[in-house]
Structure 1
Amino acid sequence: MTDAQSLSFPRNARSEQRTVTYWCRFPEQQHRYGINAVLALQKPESQSDAYLLVSAGRDGSVRLWSIDHRAQQGRIAKQAHLRSLEEHTDWVNDVVSPGGYPTLVSCSSDATVKVWDLSAGACLATLVEHQDYVRALANVSSRQFVSTAYDNRIILWDLDRMVAFSEMRGDENESIYCIASALHRDGALNGSADCFVVAAGHSDRSIRLYDLRTSRDVMRLHGHADIVRRIRLSSNGLLCLSGGSDGAVRLWDIRQQRCLSVFHHVHEDSVWSLDVPPSFSWFVSGSRDGTVCRTDLRNSKETRRLFEPDGHSARREQVCDWSKAVLDVCIAPTANYSSNLWIGFGESQLRCVSMKHPDPTHECVIEGLPSVVDYRVLNNRRHVLVRDSEHGIHLWDVCRALNIRSFGRDRSLDDVIAEIDELVYVPSWFNVDTRMGSLGIRLRKSTVSDADVYAVDIGLEAESEDQKVNIGEHTLRGLFHWWRKQWLKRNPHVAETLNTGSGQSSDTGSTTAEKKAAVLTPFVFPGDIPVVVNEQGHIEPLIHKLAHRFDGSEIEERLMPSWVIDIVGRNRTLAKEQVKISFGLEPAIGSTLQSLRQSKLTAPRILRIRKAMAYVSAKLSEQTTSANQRASPGGHRGALGASRAATDALSSEPIVPPPQEIEILCRGHVLDPNMNLGTVRWLIWKSPKDLELTYRRRGEQTSNPAPESHPVP
């Protein structure tokens, strides 16, 4: 996994600004999001009809599949899966094999390039030089390759030393989308040849050729009307094939620096993928609209459609179904590169089609898993409702990273929310991230400690109903409890301090309530969920490990956010001023209960309505007792007659009802005693003015009763 030894530049940002993200996703053998790149590799000892397929996914994984064409038909995901490489923390955008099997290089939107040993399934190095999403790779020799990113740089890497030793830059304010060399991506055609020129597609719609020896661009080809998305060079480096967002495929003569042919008719939408056989006599292209075509370079009219999505429409102006878009195509290295083609889609599916018999009966499919496409955070800020790409709806408990309930496919998120959401207000303490097709929960110091609740409300066994707990801090303690065990072994003085109870909070002395909150049973997390630590201003991760793999080492301590060490390691709580709410408390119009002398109040957001009921009862009782004392023979004589008359009128029944016989109302709604002030303020009152509450005796008729005379659920 990524650690400090992998990073090639110093870290200066403060530890407090680091974030923690954990993914509600478990070890899987299938992709959960789109397939950005596909590469076929032949093992030296393998049979001619068997090879290794490598797929790079938007779920952050690189997956290896064993393909044997003698048994290739139907759905083969489980039996074909060999290994998963899951150390990237963002989309994996491209893969190449400079020297052929077993060396693989991958690049990602996490700004890193990783070198793998496929035979061992191990990451040999994490290369960090780019400062933006790393978009594409190309081989330049058996031990060298280039990478390019949206930071407008092309970097030449040496595999023997695992270092960058040359760099080329494009113009400012531009991005590079693709890159290619005369050497094949799978390393099989490399031999002993080296490549000194690479071609790159720029955001200014040009193709530029760079000389690796001089680190300069030596040629620019103009003709595309939109961004150049894919480039392929012939093995002699004299011809270039390009596909762009303008829907055109162009064939270029490098020596003459001119376009030889334009294939406008092949696709009616953006061309996002290209592949060519070693002969460079024809090409396969894939489009954003989901179509895949095979076209002869010598006869542009000889084009065959190999695949199109169900219900495909020729109308380009229609809204594109991104899940059906073809992100990459790869010609299988069998039967002289003329038999089969692998297709990677915007959805998590790999499909192999026959180029000789392009019909469904000859297709092979490696199925994927559904990805998260939409979500809603419930009011309790512990549950998140998600909808996946197969229209399934699932409820996740983010405090335990567990899917606790699933709903039908024929419902909308809003319908389910209306059915299951509670009328409760809890401040937001996390952010949701779904960019990798799974539910990600991101925590940062500025918000993680914002949500104080009563422990019993979130299912924890507490000493009393009034014991409070902070959801975010308690979740952190559960997530990092494996790290804490090992860290305390390395820091016995901290463990001794905690055992003696002399620890202190971050900024002030530790209170009894804080100590109780720290020793509550933590939420239980699965140990095999990915946890990522990032630093503000940097894309690449500081730490990326499964939760149970944290070892409390010195490197982890140096890279871990300091606020996590305080909360989890030292059982401290981040000192924050409690949010308080101002509110008025008056008798309901028509109520027989008298007004309070102190009717303008301020209380913490978390205060339960039952506390307000008890307050009303207590204050009314005090006021009545005081009035009776003044009306007694030893009291003040000036108001004796009126006070005695009032006392005699109510002497037949209790003047002040007990707390359970008092109802608190807001906007005519009778409030549930377990509801807190924050819920009333933000979900019922819904006004910038100070909250206004009224009270009455239970069952008493007032001029503004609750609509059904029942507590709001």
Structure 2
Amino acid sequence: MSSVSNASQTGSKKKLSFIVRDEQEPSHRSAVSAMQYDAQHGRLFTGGSDTIIRTWSVPQHKDAFSARGGVRSPGKNSPVQYQGSLEQHTDWVNDMILCGNGKILISASNDTTVKAWSIERDNKHGYLDCFRSHKDYVSCLAYAPNVEKVVSASFDRNIFVYDINANFKTVNNLLGCKDSIYSLATTPNLSLILGSGTEKLIRIFDPRTNEKPMKMRGHTDNVRALVVNDDGTRALSAGSDATIRLWDIGSQRCISTCIAHQEGVWTLQVDSSFSTVYSAGKDRWVLKTPVNELPKSQLLFQEEAPVKKLLLSEKENPSSIWVGTWKSHIKRWSLRSSAQLSIGGDDEGPTSSSHYSTSTPAPSSPPVSVSLRVRDQKPQQTTPELVIPGAASINKHKTLNDKRHVLTRDTDENVALYDVLAAKKVKDYGKRSFDEVFDENSKTIFIPSWFVVDSKSGMLQITLDELDVFSSWLSTKDAGFDDNDRETKVNYGGMMLRSLFERWPPCKAACMEAGEMDEVQKATSHFFSLPEHTPFIVCEGNGRPLFRLLVGDAGKEFEANELSQVVPPWVIDAIERSQLPKFNKMPFYLLPHPSTNPKQPKKDRLSATEMLQVKKVMEHVYDKVLSNSDASSIPISQIHTKIEMYCNEQKLEPEMDLRTVKHFFWKQSGELLLYYKPIKN
């Protein structure tokens, strides 16, 4: 669990959300954007868009291939083994660093938090602390190992420094960036901190003096990656302008530019000597370039998706490199030496003796090194030495008209149906047309939306807020709970709250006290017991998390107390005080059908609950408007044999309710017009 202490129940309106997922999630379900490797113990830590940090036991480079050669992946006899997960983040994990002699992992997320984890060798990983200094996405981290300090940067334009040895105390806040920060770097002794992003310029901070930062200009688009050498004299940057730039920090100028990539460069890695840089990004190429000879870019291999993160297996004489992409797979590629490829020259002239071509820049401009025709190179590698397969992620979803089920399609083209009220998948359709399956499951019924769904994590996340959560009242028959009962009404939002808080002591006590005949208890009595592993989040109105727990833990003492500090008042009203909003009323007009040739049609204005069925309107017309003497003897189930109702020339079914008629047939603003026509015997 993670929480913010003493959170006020007043202020900005709060929301609830939960994630529909499997009990065990051993594989990534979406992009992998953060990685750290513990070479001493052979552990890989990975995180990304599905919010979960996973730990893997991986072999050393020489053990990666099987006896026959080829790719290895996790399995019964695989050298890669899933060890466990770290789950507290509620949004994309953007960056991670290992610190504290490899015993502490620090992670940064779009949920605006930085979190610390204990990762002792016995695999008893534990959540240590949460830093809430930032107010927006935390995009990147940096580490100064000589002084055990961690640096974080965010879209909120702030840079914070934390002291690992002082219980993660915030020791500095560096100001000066004017826009979102995407990239960060520091020296081992924290003598300099470099930060950049959408400003396109690189700011150099001295955290010892907090003086106004220096600036280095040159990029023409967002700066996505930064690295600096140990003595703080040189830096490399990469940007969405597809360039890699080498900077002299003392003179604050660009001394060389590589334009080997065709699209944005998002990630950089350098070896321990700062002599070789590895780069990748949107064009999917992974290049190796000598820092002092930027013309000599070599195409190592090409990934199947844009590359989010590179990570060298070791900094000194690296033998392999880990790659995370927009897809959920993680790959390790060999960096074995290979003869340099000829990429220079033209079809009729000789190539250069070094097998590379360079351009000669104008004397007045910074030298620009041009690696020509990288796209024409033959990749040095075509097969990764090791693959950690990912799972399929949901990339399309649509809520059915019943406002209970959500249809999804994943990256493997499989279609599935989820029950929101039960927080689980209820049917797999395989590789079928999404639209066909949707049409098969659609009903001519209108129920107001009471939740918001998204799948940015690769899994379904359902969000409830005060404005809409209680809007879905419907009969137990329409809800599918009782085929014969149209009088008893249920409220989907109220049911969902009882499901989420079923194990929370105040909710249990309130249910026992109210009794089964209480109206709210009856309206929510069909609630489902959710899977105990379902993640459940209380967040601010802007989505910033206040507390995360598992549904099954809500009855535990610590979690119950923390939940009491952050639960919003509208939840308290519903589950403790048994208060739900009343049904919505809908005004409508009754008129005789034009085909009856009325001389002076009377326009009766009425008002009723929006769930009133058309057959009830028929009964009212037959008895009160037309004043038929036999009205009392006609059962309501047969009223359609005596009278018909129309809207916009469409004959209405007796079982429809008014809101369904308005949504599917009236289809316009203004008050609903209904026309009645007696059936002549």
For this structure pair, what is the TM-score category when the shorter chain's length is used for normalisation? 0.7 to 0.9
Q: CA deviation at 1:623?
A: 3.7
In the alignment, the residues of structure 1 paired with residue 308 and residue 459 of structure 2 have an alpha-carbon distance, to the nearest angstrom, of 20
Q: 131, 155, 170: which one pairs with 2:160?
A: 155
What secondary structure does 2:279 align onto?
strand
Report Cα offsets for 1:71-109 as digits up to 9, x if no partner. Answer: 455252455211111100111111011233221100111
Residues in 1 aligned to 2:665 and 2:503: alpha-carbon distance in whole angstroms: 42
* Alignment partner of 1:368 out of 390, 394, 404: 390
Q: Is the counterpart of residue 17 in structure 1 residue 33 in structure 2?
A: no
Q: For the residues of structure 2 that align with 1:298 and 1:162, how far apart are their CA atoms?
A: 38
1:251-400 equivalences in 2 (<5 Å): 251-264=246-259, 266-309=260-303, 324-333=305-314, 336-356=316-336, 358-400=380-422
CA distance in structure 2 between the partners assigned to 1:515 and 1:300 by the alignment: 71
Contact 2:330/2:389, CA 8 A, preserved across alignment: yes
Q: CA deviation at 1:660?
A: 4.3
In the alignment, is the contact (CA less than 8 A) between 1:581 and 1:678 conserved in 2? no
The residue type equivalent to 1:558 in the other structure is: Q
**Code of the aligned partner of 1:385:** L
C-alpha separation in 2, matches of 1:567 and 1:359: 60
Alignment of 1:9-408 (within 5 A): 11-12=7-8, 14=10, 17-26=13-22, 27-43=24-40, 46=41, 51-69=42-60, 70-72=63-65, 74-78=71-75, 79-119=80-120, 120-141=124-145, 143-160=148-165, 161-171=167-177, 173-183=178-188, 194-264=189-259, 266-309=260-303, 324-333=305-314, 336-356=316-336, 358-408=380-430
In structure 2, how many angstroms separate the alpha carbons of the residues matched to 1:164 and 1:195? 14
Q: Quote the Cα distance in structure 2 between the aligned partners of 1:584 and 1:209.
A: 74
CA distance change for structure 1 residues 424 and 23 in 2, over 3 Å: closer, same or farther? same
The normalised TM-score by structure 2 is: 0.84
Select the residue among 529, 532, 535 that pairs with 1:530.
Answer: 535
1:681 corresponding residue in structure 2: 662
Q: In the superposition, relative to structure 1, how do residues 616 and 270 fare at CA in structure 2: closer, same or farther (>3 Å)?
A: same
- 1:562-621: per-residue Cα shift (whole Å, max 9, x none)? 221222234x13234523131324257259x99998844322110112222333343377
1:573 is matched with which residue? 579
- Cα gap change, 1:664 to 1:488, in 2 (>3 Å): closer
Q: Hey, what does 2:614 align to over in structure 1?
A: 609
Q: Which residue identity lines up with residue 299 of structure 1 in the other structure?
A: E
- The 2-side partners of 1:16 and 1:273 are apart by 37
Choose 142-151 or 14-23, whichever is displaced more: 14-23
What number of residue pairs does the alignment pair up? 617
Q: Distance in 1 between matches of 2:498 and 2:518?
A: 18
Change (3 A) 1:169 1:77: farther
Unaligned runs of 5+ in 1: 184-193, 311-323, 502-510, 627-653, 702-713
Q: Distance in 2 between matches of 1:496 and 1:300?
A: 73
Q: CA distance change for structure 1 residues 232 and 143 in 2, over 3 Å: closer, same or farther?
A: same
SS of 1:448's equivalent in the other structure is coil
Task: Flag the 1:217–1:80 CA change in 2: closer, same or farther, 3 A.
Answer: farther
> How far apart, in 1, do the equivalents of 2:196 and 2:519 lie?
61
The reply on whether 1:487 has 2:506 as its aligned counterpart is yes
SS at match of 1:683: helix
What secondary structure, in the 3-state scheme, does the structure 2 residue paired with 1:618 have?
helix
Within the candidate set 423, 426, 430, 2:451 is matched to: 430
Name the CA distance, whole Å, in 2 between partners of 1:529 and 1:275: 37
Which residue of the partner structure matches residue 486 of structure 2?
A: 465
**Deviation of the 1:495 alpha carbon:** 6.3
SS of the residue aligned with 2:242?
Answer: coil
Superposed displacement of residue 343, structure 1: 0.7
Q: Is the 8 A contact 2:246 2:257 kept in 1?
A: yes
3-state SS in 1 of match to 2:595: coil
User: Equivalents in 2 of 1:278, 1:99: separation in Å?
Assistant: 19
Q: Secondary structure at the match of 1:482?
A: coil
Query: What's the secondary structure of 2:503's corresponding residue?
Result: helix
How far, CA to CA, are the matches of 2:180 and 2:384 in structure 1?
A: 40
CA contact (8 A) 2:242 2:261 kept: yes
CA deviations 1:314-339 (Å, max 9, x no partner) are xxxxxxxxxx21111011128x4432
Partner of 2:648: 667
For 2:48 and 2:534, locate their aligned partners in 1 and report how far apart those are by CA, in whole Å.
18
Contact 2:20-2:423 within 8 A present in 1 as well: yes
Q: Is the 8 A contact 1:473 1:573 kept in 2?
A: no
Structure number, greater radius of gyration: 1
| CA-atom RMSD in angstroms | 2.9
Moved more, 417-426 or 112-121: 417-426
Residues 534 and 543, structure 1, Cα contact 8 Å, conserved in 2: yes
Identical aligned pairs, as a percentage?
A: 29
Query: Which amino acid counterpart does residue 384 of structure 1 have in structure 2?
Result: V
State whether residues 590 and 603 of structure 2, in contact with CA within 8 Å, keep that contact through their aligned partners in structure 1: no
Q: 1:436 to 1:216 in 2, by over 3 A?
A: farther
Tell me the CA shift for residue 296 of structure 1.
1.8
Question: Secondary structure in 2 aligned to 1:29?
Answer: coil
Contact 1:467 1:513 in 2 (8 A): no
Structure 2: distance between partners of 1:564 and 1:684: 35
Post-superposition Cα deviations, 1:38-88, rounded to whole Å, max 9, x if no partner, equal 221123xx4xxxx21111211111111111031455252455211111100
Alignment counterpart, residue 564 of structure 1, candidates 548, 571, 583: 571
Alignment gaps of 5+ in structure 2: 339-379
In structure 1, the residue corresponding to 2:251 is in which secondary structure?
coil
Give yes or no for contact 1:657–1:697 (8 Å, CA) kept in 2: no
Distance (whole Å) between structure 2 residues aligned to residue 131 and residue 532 of structure 1: 18
Q: Supply the distance in 2 between the matched residues of 1:305 and 1:657 (Cα, whole angstroms).
A: 76
Shift of 1:222: 1.2
The yes-or-no answer on 1:547 pairing with 2:538 is no
